Amino acid sequence: MTLLDAHWQGRICSGGWVPGSGGTYDAVEPATGATLAQVGEATPADVAKAAAMARDAQREWAAQPYDQRARVLRRAARLFEDHGDEIDEWLVRESGATRAFARFQTRAVGAEECHEAAALAAHPYGELLRSGQPRLSMARRVPAGVVGVISPFNAPIILSIRAIAPALALGNAVLAKPDPRTAVCGGVLLARIFEEAGLPEGLFHVLPGGADVGAALVEDPLVRVIAFTGSTAAGRRIAAAAGERLKRVHLELGGNSALIVLADADVEKAVSVGAFGSFNHSGQICMATGRHLVAAEIADDYAAALAEHAAGLTVGDPARDDVALGPLIDAGQRDKVHALVTGSAEAGAKIAAGGTYADLFYRPTVLTSVPLTAPAYAQEVFGPVAPVVPFSTVDEAVRLAGGTEYGLSLGILTRDVARGLAVADRIPSGLVHVNDQTVNDEALAPFGGVGASGTGSRHGGAQANLEAFTETQWVTVRGDLPQYPF
């Protein structure tokens, strides 16, 4: 059995596979420009219908015993594993991921998120409270209801399933709006997995579409929680719209994460770590290493070695096993990356490697002599670009690392782990990795940023997911009716 036979093409998942009100559009392979499939396109009218259907289905789902919900999530995890090669192929072709990154999304995250969600269904969901009255007093977690999940193109399995799986496990219904450029990987595949896993119809809807569909999700009164992953600019707009409607929103936004390389680090090993942090998936990762802050004593050696690593990396069609970097997602993203690189060169930065492209394939790029005002240093690039900036003291490294509105991930490379932790204590960041680069993710670990990177850890781990996708309800029980002076 294959997950993706022909019956889903040109349709959306909303109470079965039905035509979308927006018609259809082509799913395109960025590496070749080939058309992969026809995708059904939703409109705001489809969102309203889906929300009403989801609300009705959610009530029955929430009333099911926890083990029945857990069973569906366990079956979903097995389907990720059993159909891993098929899912990987779609990730490679539709999102431009290398096979290694595709396998990570499918096995290490997709399947594990479902396993963790299955366990979450059995997690304690409340606590007993003390009371001054003769009664039993407790706080319990109840499903939020209908959850909207808006996910981006760059890691479509990871950035969708990490919200969808726990929300379903905790008794919610889900409306998912994947990025239209990766609607198959980030939506259709997940709908088919849960369909085969036995999830009751009407609980999970996949609504590919543009910004108007995302806005309709945020505005619909039946959707009580929004989990959004994307740009900071879009996150601010979503937060404002949700705030007007007193709606909870969980935001995982952009970053410009720093890798601090202290003078005692092994330069060659540090360069390998830093290269992966900046160039993995062509830098199209929110927590990519956007700034290499290197102790002045080793900065020249580090930059030279990093440029050598960059020059040796193979860029091309990720369907080939020898390719390290695939394409950027589209021409708009490529042009944005190139404008940041050329703008930095005009500001005084030197291009030590890369800075060129062919079609959507951008060469891994190393910048040296980078002014702090250079666009590729000061802004999130979302491309394979590594600015290297030296520092003279740890205090200066702390100031540079913290000198941004973002606060997503931080890496510190040093032989002195205690010193690394002490440096991390001084820099606001949602994630900290001592002796590793900034790109890390595990299904059971809390994930989220601070500042312009988001609203904190709302994904990963039982506590974060309970807070994200349930409401707290106070309940008291008395044996007899009380006497009141009325």
Residues 81 and 142 in one domain: yes
Domain assignment of residue 483, yes or no? no
**Cα–Cα distance between 249 and 227 in angstroms, integer?**
6
Q: Which H helix or E strand runs over 297?
A: helix 296-312
**Do 239 and 330 fall within a single domain?**
no
pLDDT tens digit sequence for 302-347: 999 999 999 999 999 999 989 999 999 999 999 999 999 999 999 9
Q: Are the C-beta atoms of 34 and 94 separated by less than 8 Å? A: no
Q: Are residues 203 and 135 in the same domain?
A: yes
Same domain, 183 and 267: no
Q: In this structure, what CATH number is given to the domain that contains residue 63?
A: 3.40.605.10
Strands (E), 74-218: 126-129, 136-143, 146-150, 173-177, 204-206
pLDDT value, residue 108: 86
Q: Considering the domain boundaries, does residue 355 fall inside one? A: yes
Q: What digits encode the pLDDT tens for the residues 388-401? A: 999 999 999 999 99
Listed residue (104, 109, 411, 449) closest to 275, CA to CA:
411
- Cβ burial, residue 312 (10 Å; 0-12/13-18/19+): exposed
Q: Which two tokens stand for residue 68?
A: 């029945």
pLDDT tens, position by position, 131-144: 999 999 999 999 99
Are 269 and 219 part of one and the same domain? no
Q: Is 108 helix (H, G, I), strand (E, B) or coil?
A: helix
484, part of any domain = no
In a domain, 113, yes or no: yes
Q: Verify that 225 and 322 share a domain, yes or no.
A: no
**24, 168: one domain:** yes
> Does residue 152 come out as left (phi exceeding 0), alpha (psi in the -120 to 50 range) or beta?
beta
Q: Are residues 233 and 264 in the same domain?
A: no
Reference 453, options 227, 166, 215, 229; nearest CA is 229
65 falls within a domain: yes
Identify the helix (H) or strand (E) that includes residue 409.
Answer: strand 409-413
Residues that are catalytic? 252, 286
| Section 448-474 average pLDDT | 92
- The full length of the chain comes to 486
List phi, psi (to 5°) of 391. Answer: -135, 155
Q: Is the pLDDT of residue 457 over 80?
A: no
- The answer, as to whether pTM is greater than 0.85, is yes
Does residue 175 contact residue 164 with C-beta atoms inside 8 Å? no
**What would the pLDDT profile of 226-280 be if each residue is shown by its tens digit?**
999 999 999 999 999 999 999 999 999 999 999 999 999 999 999 999 999 999 9
Asked whether the CA dihedral 11, 17, 22, 28 is positive or negative, the reply is negative
Give the three-class secondary structure for 420: helix
Buried/exposed code over 129-160 (b: 16+ C-beta within 10 A; e: otherwise):
eeeeeeeebeeebebbbbbbbbbbbbbbbbbb
- Are both 343 and 382 inside the same structural domain? yes
- Name the percent of the chain in helix, strand, coil, to the closest 5: 40, 25, 35
Residue 111 is predicted with a pLDDT of: 95
Q: Which amino acid is located at 462 in the chain?
A: A
Q: How many domains does the chain have?
A: 2
Mean pLDDT of all residues in 30-55: 98
Helical segments of 252-393, H only: 267-279, 296-312, 331-346, 375-378
Within-domain flag for 485: no
Residue 476's DSSP bridge partners are 137
Distance CA 295, CA 302 (A): 9
Name the percent of the chain lying above pLDDT 70.
100
Q: The domain that contains 421 carries what CATH number?
A: 3.40.309.10
Quote the tokens at residue 279: 């160039």
Q: How many CB atoms lie within 10 A of CB 345?
A: 17
Radius of gyration of the chain (CA): 24
CB within 8 A of 441, min separation 6: which ones? 109, 158, 447, 460
Residues 58, 180 share a domain:
yes
Strands 248-252 and 223-229: parallel
Q: Are residues 309 and 397 in the same domain?
A: yes
Query: Could you report the per-residue pLDDT of 195-222, keeping only the tens digit for each?
Result: 999 999 999 999 999 999 999 999 999 9
Q: Are strands 431-434 and 409-413 parallel, antiparallel or unpaired?
A: parallel
Residue 74 falls inside a structural domain: yes
Average pLDDT estimate for 17-43: 97
Q: Tell me the pLDDT tens digit for each residue of 144-158.
A: 999 999 999 999 999
Same domain, 320 and 241: no
The dihedral built from the CA positions of residue 46, 52, 53 and 59, taken in this order, carries a sign that is positive
Please give the Cα distance from 245 to 26 (Å, whole number). 34
Q: What's the mean pLDDT in 361-382?
A: 98
Is the model's pLDDT at 90 over the cut of 80?
Answer: yes
Distance between CA atoms of residues 321 and 323, nearest Å: 6
Q: Determine the 3-state secondary structure of 207 from DSSP.
A: coil
Structural domain boundaries, residue 22: 6-253+454-475
Tokens linked to 24: 């259809």
pLDDT at 187 over 90: yes
What DSSP element (H or E) covers 235?
helix 232-244
Phi, psi of 192 (to 5 degrees): -65, -40
Q: In the structure, what pLDDT confidence band is assigned to residue 456 with cuts at 50, 70 and 90?
A: confident
**Residue that is written with structure tokens 């904190």 in the block:** 456
Domain annotation covers residue 443? no
